[in-house]
Amino acid sequence: MARESCTSEAVPAAAVLFAWGANSYGQLGLGHKEDVLLPQRLSGFCKAGCIKSVTGGGGHSAAVTDGGDLFVCGLNKDGQLGLGHTEEVLCFTICKPLLGCPIRQVACGWDFTLMLTEKGQVLSCGSNAFGQLGVPHGPQKCVVPQAIEKIQGLREKVVCVAAGLRHALAHYSDWQCVPVGDWLGIFWPTLVSWAESPVVLDSKGTQQSVRGLENSTSVCVVAGSDHSASLTDTGELFVWGRNKHGQLASLAAFLAVPQRIGAHCFQDEKVTAVWSGWTHLVAKTETGKVFTWGRADYGQLGRRLESAEAQKPVEQDSSPPFQRPQNSVPSPLHCLAGAAEISCGSEHNLAVIRDKCCSWGWNEHGMCGDGTESNVWTPTPVQALPSPSRLLLVGCGAGHSLALCQLPAYPAPRQDLRVTRPLPDATEDTESQGASDRDRLEGDTISDFNPKRS
C-alpha cells in the first residue's frame, strides 16, 4: 500500500543568496557578464545558510561562511580575488590559498581586498599601486593573500578592517586604527596607530605623534573614497579626510585630524553603527534612528534636498552657519527607523527594515533591483525578492547588490511583481536623473568601472 504524503511534516526553511546590478566582470557570481536589473537567485557554491557576511568592491564580490571559508568572484586583473592568478571568475569560488585559515571578516576596496583572520591577522591582495596593501615597497599587485607585516609587528589584536577606494583601515582591540594607502600618504605618513597617545609609523618605521583620538576608544572604522570614520565606545563619531561633498559634516574642505561630529547632529543620541559610501555616510543611533549626509545628487541620502545650492561641494570653512549646505548636516530618514541591517555601495544603499530589503540611490546598472536604470530617491522595497521571507544579510559592491533571504518552510503562491513604491512615510520619486549628469565623481571615479562613462 502506498504511503500517503503528510503535508503537515515540517520542511526546513532555506536560506538563499540573491544578486543584482552591475555585472561587467561576473561580480554577481551568476556565470555571465550581463547586468541584472532584478534579483537573481544564486545556488550551488556553498550552503547559503552558512553565509555570515557578503560584500563587494569595484568589480568583485566576497562571501564569508560560518566556518571561515572565503568565496570570491568577479574582476581579478590585479589579483584581488586572492586565487593566485589574474583571470576573471564568473561564479563564486572558494579561495583555496586560505583553506585552513578561517576568515572572520573581509573588506573589498576598488581593486584590492583585506581579510581578517580569526587569530586577528590581516591579509591583503590585489592592487598595491597606492600602498593600499600595507606593503610600501612591495610589488604593484599581489595575487595571493599576504600578511601585512608592519601591522603584525604591533602588539594588539586587529578586530576590524575597512577598505576605501584606494586606502584601508585596521582597528585594534586596545589601539585605535591603522590607515594605509593613497590619499593618507599625501597628508599623513603611511601607517597611523593610536595607543595611550597617538603614534605614527611612516614607511621607514619612524614614529611621530598624531592628534585627534587620544582620549577615545574606537569600536569600528569605515572608509570612503577619500575619507575615513571611527566610532567610539561612547557613541561618538569621528571623521577625517576629504570633504568635497560635505560627507564629514563640516565646512572645512579637508580634515587632517579626526574631528568629532557633534551629538546635536544626531538629536543628542549616541551613534551605535556607521556605514560609508564613496562620498556619503549613514549612521544609526541608540534608539534606532537612521541619519544620512554627504553627496546627494543620485539619491544617495534617501531624500531630496530643497535646492541645487544644497548639493554644491564644500570649498571653504568661512561660510556662516545659515549657509551650511543641507547635505553636510546629518538628517534622519524616518522610514528607516529600526533598520536591522544597512550596507552602502559607492552611491547606492540597501537596508533591512521589517523583513523587507529597501534600496535607494544610483541605479544606472540596476543595483536598486526595481527592474529599471533610473535612480531611486527614497528607500523603496525591492519587490522582486521573494515574499514572505526573512532578510538575513545585505551587502553592496560599488555598483551591485547582494541579499541573503530565509525563505518560508512552504513557498507562498507566486504573485505578479507590483509597481515599486516607496515606504509609506517616504517622499515618492517624481523624476529620474538626466543622462547628462553621468560623471558621478567629477573626475574622481576610475573610468574602467563602467564603459558607458568613459
CA distances from 208 to 72, 152, 204 (A): 38, 19, 12
C-alpha cell at 49: 545558510
Quick check: is 154 in a domain?
Answer: yes
Residue from 333, 365, 336 nearest 348 by CA: 365
Quick check: is 79 in a domain?
Answer: yes
CA distances from 84 to 30, 96, 108, 126, 402 (A): 22, 9, 17, 10, 25
What DSSP character marks residue 175? S
Quick check: is 2 in a domain?
Answer: no
As a whole number, the mean pLDDT across the chain is 80
| Total domains present in the chain | 1
Quick check: is 74 in a domain?
Answer: yes
Quick check: is 48 in a domain?
Answer: yes
Quick check: is 9 in a domain?
Answer: no
Sheet holding 167-172, edge to edge: 158-163, 167-172, 177-181
Cβ distance 106 to 116 under 8 Å? yes
Residue from 135, 127, 131, 257 nearest 187 by CA: 257
Query: Please, what sign has the CA dihedral across residues 209, 210, 214, 220?
Result: negative
pLDDT tens readout for residues 177-209: 545 565 343 333 233 333 222 233 333 333 333
Domain of residue 248, CATH code: 2.130.10.30
Q: Print the domain residue range for 280.
A: 19-453
CA distances from 137 to 129, 149, 204, 280, 360 (A): 10, 12, 10, 32, 40
Interior CA angle at 96 toward 93 and 101, to 5°? 120
Question: Which three-class secondary structure state does DSSP give residue 429?
Answer: coil
CA distance 288 to 220: 18
Quick check: is 263 in a domain?
Answer: yes
Quick check: is 11 in a domain?
Answer: no
Model confidence, pTM: 0.82
Residue from 336, 228, 323 nearest 292 by CA: 336
Q: Which residues contact 322 (CB under 8 A, 6 or more apart)?
A: none
- pLDDT tens for the chain, 454 residues long, are 333 223 333 335 689 999 999 999 999 999 999 999 999 999 888 887 899 999 999 999 999 999 999 999 999 999 999 999 999 999 999 999 999 999 999 999 999 999 999 998 999 999 999 989 987 777 899 999 999 876 555 556 788 899 999 999 888 765 445 455 653 433 332 333 332 222 333 333 333 333 556 667 888 999 999 999 999 999 999 999 999 999 999 999 999 999 999 999 999 999 999 999 999 999 999 999 999 999 999 999 999 887 655 555 555 444 444 456 889 999 999 999 999 999 999 999 999 999 999 999 999 999 999 999 999 999 999 999 998 889 999 999 999 999 999 988 765 444 443 333 344 444 333 333 333 333 443 444 444 444 344 3
Residue from 294, 384, 284 nearest 341 by CA: 284
